[in-house]
Every structure is written in structure tokens, then in C-alpha cells.
Amino acid sequence: MHGKRVKLFDTTLRDGSQSENISFSVEDKLHIAKKLDEFGIHYIEGGWPGSNPKDVLFFKQAQKEHFQNAKIVAFGSTKHTRNRVEKDPNIRALLDAETSAVSIFGKTWMLHVEKALRVTAEQNLEMIRESVAFLKEHGREVIYDAEHFFDGYKDNPEYALRTLQVAESAGADVLVLCDTNGGMLTSEVADIVKTVRKSVSAVLGIHAHNDSGLAVANTITAVRHGCEHVQGTVNGYGERCGNANLCSVLPNLQIKAGYDCVPPENIGKITALSHYVSEVSNLVHDNTMPFVGKSAFAHKGGIHVSAVMRESSCYEHIEPETVGNHRRVLVSDLSGKSNILFKADELGINMESDQDKIPAIVKRLKELEHEGYQFEAAEGSLELLIKKMKKEYRNFFALQGFRIMVEKNESDEIRTEATIRMLVKDEIEHVAAEGVGPVNALDNALRKALIGFYPEINDMKLTDYKVRVIDASAATSARVRVLIESTADDMTWSTVGVSENIIQASWEALTDSVSYYLMKKQKVD
């Protein structure tokens, strides 16, 4: 290990909550705070108690919780120039939050001092001095955020440094250099941090935004040039383009650069933490996120897969398990023999005695992908296809025909009914069922026809249904791809159907889903 300790300051609950499409409840914030604490984060910024009642309630609730590793931090600004510090509402709110540490921001850039605050340079310095000193007098650990520090430094380096020196002399424990607009180049961050390190003695921190796509790089560079305190958010959530993504910063610092950030055994939990926060945030997890994304260790090209199977470091910069992720091989029109072998092994299909069938399977996959099928996200249909080509699959039912009727009356009421004729275990089933739409009606009729023979399908639930137009230029006669996700018995699987007719595509995906489940149940039983 590098041996140098870096403290992690998570602001997902404050800066991250300013991200578009995120709205945390108090319970959400408490759940995430507990996960961050378990993971080993040192500081959790819970919100701004001076700005809204929800954050006030969060701090009250947080006092009842036991946090093993993290300090909960209240966030606020320096006092208003017209207020005495002990009477300032924002400063009082910070004290009322009753956190052992507070994070307080002040202005560094003369543009903001003169245009936003409309005070003199000296008045701004006095606001910083009084606010920090008052909070220290009341026993708080003070993390001072120098807002817009890098912009302020480029504009007037002497004044920017003075703001830090004033905060330090007033007792600030940490001086955080903020790239609030996210516009700095990495080389600029390196040069400025080196200069600041020579000018103050307090612990330095870095708070980078991602407006130039450089937040992670700027954060790591700042650490390498003297910052020992890192601020960021899980998944990079934050206003505009987001904050430095701790799910990238942390593995780079700890695994690559050898810094001591969290207990070594916890680094393998970072993928689970990333997914947990996206779930609570009600946001789709970004597959392409480094280290923790579903596609971070996914291989598609046949040559790549062949090489990875021999030596994973050919196309992987770390072992995926190091960060709690796993290797995935995708089967597509770029597939070769290696993809099929890897995928079959992953799906538990023995191909040792069927090596001669692999070329035919690859050929069939490429034909189907050309028609619009996509098996990367439909592993249920892929397993069925391989089993069928290996002659290891038996049909559980056979369609003899279906009809769908949709009626709409003058009251705008819509009635949908599906009628199905099926051959199941040598018996003809002819049933009808209604639904809220044609796909739901088909699903209900299919289940009705099969339930007497396969009662286990009652445990199946359809959890997602996606339609994608494949050739948009064909307008309403375009071919569509339907992806269906189903769950049962702690198992989740996806299936695919393709047709110019959306009902036919849905039927393919639906019947594959049921067939897959019955095949798995049969194997277990």
C-alpha cells in the first residue's frame, strides 16, 4: 500500500440530491447513509438544514441512528454580512443540527464577492473568519469549502489564497478546493494544488464537478499533489453533469495508486453500493460506468473473448471480482466459437460432446441477429436456442392458433379478449381471457390454457416489457423487437421476440419466457 490515508466525504445526500430526476425522502436518505457508513465512508453530508424542513428532519432522525464509521455532516454557508454571527439563521441551523462536523462554504472568486454577495473583499474575509471561528468555539469540526476556488485563483490568486489562510487561522480543520463550475483542466488543478499546498498547513480537500468530463481525473490529480480529503457522490450524481464519481475515484486511488481509503475487504462491495444507491434514487443504473457498470467487464467480439478466456488481462485492466463485479460474454453477430463456449459454461450447458454443433449455433445466431433478434439482453431465449440445437429440449405446449379482439364503444370503454387453441400433453385446450390490452390478454389466455398442466406458472410474474422499432424507415410496418423480463423463485430471466407484427413478437417472447421457466423447473424437479 501507498500508506497515505485519504478521507472520503460523500455528498450524495446533498449535492447528489440536486441532480435532475432525484428526489430523496427522509427514509431514502437514512437508508443510503447507513449503507455508506457500512461501506467505510468517513463523512456523510446529509443536507442543508437551513434550506428546507426535510433536511432538518433528516438530522433529527440521524441522531437516533448509530453510525460506526461515518460522521454525519450538516452543510451551510458563511453568515450574512448584515447579521451578527450568533444570530445568523444559517449558522444557528448548523448548530441545531447537532452534528459533530459541519461543512461551510464561502466565496473565493471576486466575481461572486462583488456581484453575488455585493460586499467588499475585506467584508467577505471577515464573514469567513467569524463563521469558522464561531463554529469552532461551539466544538464543531469545520470543513471549509472554498467555493469556485480554481476560478477565483485564476482570476486573483492572492485573494483566493487569503480566503484559505483566513479560514485556517480561524480554526478550519479541512480546506476544500472546489471546482464548482467543473471547468478546470487536469494540468491546471495539478499546478494550483501544488501552489496551495505550500501556502497553508491545514488538511487540503478536493471537490470537483464534471462539466468538462474531468471530475474523476481532477480529483485523483489533486490527491497526488497534496489533497488528503476527497468529496464526491456515488455514481457521480449531482447538479448539471454531476460530481466526481466515488465509484471511479475510490478504486483508482485504492487499487491502482495504493492509497488507504476504505478497509481492503470493503472495496469488493462497491458495485453493490453503486446499484443500491441507483435503486433508492429510482434511476436506471448506467451500464457503461467504469468498475461498477454491467458492461464494465463485458466482451462481445469473438477475438476479444478468445483472448480473455486464455488470459483475462488481455482485455481487462483489473479482475472484475476485485470491485464486486463479474465478467460477462455477450452473444451477438460478432460472436465466435469462444463466445458460445463461454456463454454455454455460464448458463450451465455442457458442450464437450457437442463441439461439432458450435459452428451451426454461431451461424444461426448471426442469422437471427441479422433479422433483429438481440440475445445480449435475452439470455433465456439464448439458452432455449442452444438447447434446441443440441436436441435437449422438448416442447411443453404447441400453438394451434390464437385470435385477439379489441372493441371500443361510444363511451370510450375498451374491451380486449384473446382466444387460444393449444395442444398440451396431447390434449386440446381452447380458452379465452380478457386483459387490459392485447399482450396482457394473450398472457392471461396462455396461463389459463397451461395452469391445469403446469400449476407452477402461477409463481411467474412479468416484470418488464420493452418494444424497440428495428427499422424506423418502414414507419408503421417496421419490424419490432419485444423484450420481456420475468421473475419467479428468486430467478430473473429475459426473452426476445421479433416480427413486423407486435402481437407476434410479443407472443414469441411470452412463450419463450414460459418455456424457459418450465424447462428450469423440470430440471430442478
Task: Per-residue pLDDT tens, the chain, 525 aa: give them.
Answer: 446 999 999 999 999 999 998 999 999 999 999 999 999 999 999 999 977 888 999 999 999 999 999 999 999 999 998 999 999 999 999 999 999 999 999 999 989 898 888 899 999 999 999 999 999 999 999 999 999 999 999 999 999 999 999 999 999 999 999 999 999 999 999 999 999 999 999 999 999 999 999 999 999 999 999 999 999 999 999 999 999 999 999 999 999 999 999 999 999 999 999 988 988 888 888 989 999 998 888 776 555 656 655 666 676 789 888 999 877 665 544 455 666 666 666 666 776 777 777 788 777 777 877 787 777 667 788 888 888 877 877 889 999 999 999 998 888 889 999 999 999 999 999 999 999 899 999 999 999 999 999 999 999 998 888 888 876 666 666 788 888 989 998 888 889 899 999 999 999 999 999 999 998 887 655
pLDDT at 387: 83
Question: What's residue 476's pLDDT?
Answer: 62
Report the top-level CATH class of 398-524: alpha beta
Quick one: pLDDT at residue 79? 94
Cα end-to-end distance, the chain, whole Å: 50
User: Residue ranges per domain, the chain?
Assistant: 7-280, 298-371, 398-524
pTM metric for this prediction: 0.70
Tell me, rounded to whole angstroms, the distance of Cα 136 from its chain centroid: 37
Q: Mark 287-317 as b/e (b = at least 16 C-beta within 10 Å).
A: eebbbbbbebbbbbbbebbbbbbeeeeeeee
Strand order in the sheet with 398-408: 398-408, 414-424, 427-435
Domain 7-280 CATH class label: alpha beta
- The set of cell numbers assigned to 277 is 444507491
> With 0-12 CB in 10 A as exposed, 13-18 as middle and 19+ as buried, what is 117?
middle
